[in-house]
Structure 1
Amino acid sequence: MPSEAGTTDTLKVRPIGKTIGAEIIGADVRESVLDEDGFQCLKQALLDYKVITLRNQMLEPDDQVAFTSKFGPVNDGGPKNPFFLEGYPEVTILSNILKDGKPIGFQTDQTDEWHTDITYLDKPSMGAVLYATEVPPEGADTLFADLEAAYIALPDTVRGRIDKLRAIHTYPEQYGGKLTESEKAAMPARSHPLVRTHPETGRKSLFVSPMMTIAVEGLREEESDDLLKELFGHITKPEFMYTHKWELNDLLIWDNRCTMHKSTWFDPKYSRLMYRTMIDGDVPY
């Protein structure tokens, strides 16, 4: 990973975490402003740092969808997504705001757990773009874990043991509501490599998360539980983390192929309103 800030004309990349996270300075991602060279700089920064932040973006939904589509096809956020922006099924609302006594978006605070987005599908999301229009004055941070750095830091004996194993991922009902029997039948548990190879960088990372990974294939239940407990404890060590402290009009982009994330608690007297778009991924290998 690059260790120094870089520039392409007006854009500057400033690392802000230990192994993960960078701020992009001087970028405006609106289609009328961002040229191809600027986008390629952003894309490379995402591959290098896994999570990138752009401050003071002024976006309409069309801008966010158009920008997200530069990375790949935009999806609808997975099954059981009732909280999309009217007229924009690709834009999911994340919020604690109530309208007529009902939530207007997914509430990701007290109940959130470490996860990588929609790994319960055959093709988990490649990444996500999250835009903040209302943020609490404190709390409501988003934590990210660098699963590539966590894999590299494992002892050789552990890496040798897990390199060829596969893990089972399921849909967690707290993620978006209980499934009907027909929905459960249409969304069976998925098997993914426990160690994933990034299709663009070729680098390896762990591919498990406490929220969605329930077992390791081929291991006895006790052995599987012990291994997952060990890995979950390892990947949530502070040295692999970046904490994003939100500011108004932040745009955050992350690579789901080598990270996991969770949001933190905030006082519900404050409003939080964010808009998420997700990018189609491919089958992990």
Structure 2
Amino acid sequence: MAIELTPLPLPPSAEPSKFETFGREVKGINPGNCTIEQLEEIKQALYRHEVLFFHNVVLTPEQQLKLTKAFDPDSEIYGHGGKLGSEKSSILHSALQAIPRVPQVQLIGNGMLYNHEGLAETRLKHLTHKTFHKTVVSTEDEQKGFTRFYRWHIDAALYDLSPPRVTTLYAVRVPEGPNQICRYDDGTGDELDVPLATTAFISGQTMFQLLPPELKSVAVRAEVKYAPHPYVWMAPARAKSTGLGIVSEGLETPLDQLPPWAEDKIKTHPMLWRNPVTNMLSLQVHPCGAIELIVSPIPSGAAREGALYPDGARITDLEEVRDLLDRMQRPAIAPNLVYPHKWSNNDLILFHNRGVLHTVVGTLQPNQMRVYHQCNLAASDDPTGPSNEDISQWA
């Protein structure tokens, strides 16, 4: 039996023309118990639509791991490895709790949880912008329902391990409450009405397509070098009000004060990643972890007029790195380009981690329970970048 795909219900804020292929709800199938043929259809659909949504399904952690692993059979370990508990200075330390019998599946959320999947008692901490942004929404405005994006990102260790192909996110318990208003607070006046504690997604493909020619040229020629142990490195620093990158104040952990690291484990990835099914290019950069940009020269015979970095460049000044990335990424998080999912209990989302950026959003009170199971696996390969033909076309 073939799977049924229907477009995701878009919020009034979304521009439908930008979501024609983005996101599908999958009906008539149990993702935890599907046939080989159905699984292949799911894989193809995910790469074509970037986000797949299953409403009201029952999924055990074992089934979730099996589903996630189907996209990369050679993958074995959680996307951030198994050392989060020992890296207490990492900004991820308090946000993730492994399920003991299936450690590749992590608990995330908010509130005190008892007798859950082998854990007698654990406190989940909702990620709030107040612990990470340089500026914050005032308590008065927060009480009026204003909030922010937390941190736009790709699920990836960005050191030693390769970025997961897919993330699965299963809602066990969703908090109830009115929508909130996500403020960008960057001088644009941009705001977005969002469901409480939503997960917001944007398309890396759209991010690339929005760029003017001179920035498309940079993107197709550029590589991004990430800091060693980036989540420890960035922990003392503070993020921009949009959640899209770090404010440059020199607060990052000095490299010689990080946990032991090796040069050959540092990750450098193309700025553009190729979709394995559609061959489309997505601009996939985790802006908070980037430490350097390497731009290749304009190809021989290509037009140089108006080009940025025509002779190539190695950009090591952090402020310049971040300013350029913000210039390239900020247009794609405009309110009309964001999909903020409205969760219900037992919803499952699969997203192509190499084709979207995402963030948690919202402010919760301590007694508002939010319980999710998250799974992604460090990939058996690195993302594929632009081809020679792509470089000829866009450079």
So what's the TM-score if we normalise by structure 2? 0.63
The aligned runs of 1:206-245 (5 Å cut-off) are: 206-217=283-294, 218-219=314-315, 221=317, 223-245=320-342
Secondary structure, in 3 states, of the residue corresponding to 2:221? Answer: coil
The CA deviation at 1:169 is: 2.2
Structure 1 segments of 4 or more deviating over 6 A?
A: 174-180
The CA deviation at 1:167 is: 1.4
User: RMSD between aligned alpha carbons?
Assistant: 2.8
The CA deviation at 1:175 is: 8.8
Does the alignment pair 1:198 with 2:275?
A: yes
Does the alignment pair 1:116 with 2:154?
A: yes
Moved more, 124-133 or 195-204: 195-204
- In the alignment, structure 1 segments of 5+ residues that lack a partner are 1-8
- Matched with 2:60 is 60
Residue of 64, 87, 98 corresponding to 2:112: 98
- Number of equivalenced pairs: 274
Does the alignment pair 1:277 with 2:375?
A: yes
Preserved contact between residue 65 and residue 277 of structure 1 (Cα < 8 Å)? yes
Moved more, 54-63 or 71-80: 71-80
The CA deviation at 1:107 is: 3.4
The aligned runs of 1:18-167 (5 Å cut-off) are: 18-19=18-19, 20-31=22-33, 34-72=34-72, 73-79=75-81, 80-82=83-85, 83-98=97-112, 104-105=123-124, 107-110=126-129, 111=132, 112-118=150-156, 120-121=158-159, 122-138=161-177, 139-167=196-224
Distance 2:258 2:290 in 1: 22
Question: In 2 relative to 1, CA 220–84 (structure 1 residues): closer, same or farther, beyond 3 Å?
Answer: closer
Distance 1:48 1:61 in 2: 26
Task: Give percent identity, aligned residues only.
Answer: 24
- CA deviation vs aligned residue, 1:92-129 (integer Å, no higher than 9, x gap): 110222369x8544633435300001151351111111
- Matched with 1:6 is none
The CA deviation at 1:182 is: 6.8
Preserved contact between residue 291 and residue 316 of structure 2 (Cα < 8 Å)? no
Task: Between the two structures, name the one with larger relative contact order (CA 8 Å, sep ≥ 6).
Answer: 1
- In the alignment, structure 2 segments of 5+ residues that lack a partner are 11-17, 86-96, 115-120, 133-149, 178-195, 237-252, 295-313, 386-395
Preserved contact between residue 95 and residue 103 of structure 1 (Cα < 8 Å)? no
Residue of 5, 9, 12 corresponding to 1:13: 5
Secondary structure, in 3 states, of the residue corresponding to 1:267? Answer: coil
Distance 1:245 1:176 in 2: 30
Q: Which one has a bigger Cα radius of gyration?
A: 2
Distance 1:27 1:116 in 2: 28
Distance 2:37 2:60 in 1: 22
Distance 1:162 1:154 in 2: 9
Distance 1:176 1:36 in 2: 42
Preserved contact between residue 96 and residue 103 of structure 1 (Cα < 8 Å)? no
The CA deviation at 1:239 is: 3.9
The CA deviation at 1:174 is: 9.0
Preserved contact between residue 54 and residue 250 of structure 1 (Cα < 8 Å)? yes
- CA deviation vs aligned residue, 1:70-90 (integer Å, no higher than 9, x gap): 212342231433410021111
The CA deviation at 1:62 is: 1.7
Q: Which amino acid aligns with 2:348?
A: L
- Matched with 2:361 is 264
Q: Which amino acid aligns with 1:150?
A: M
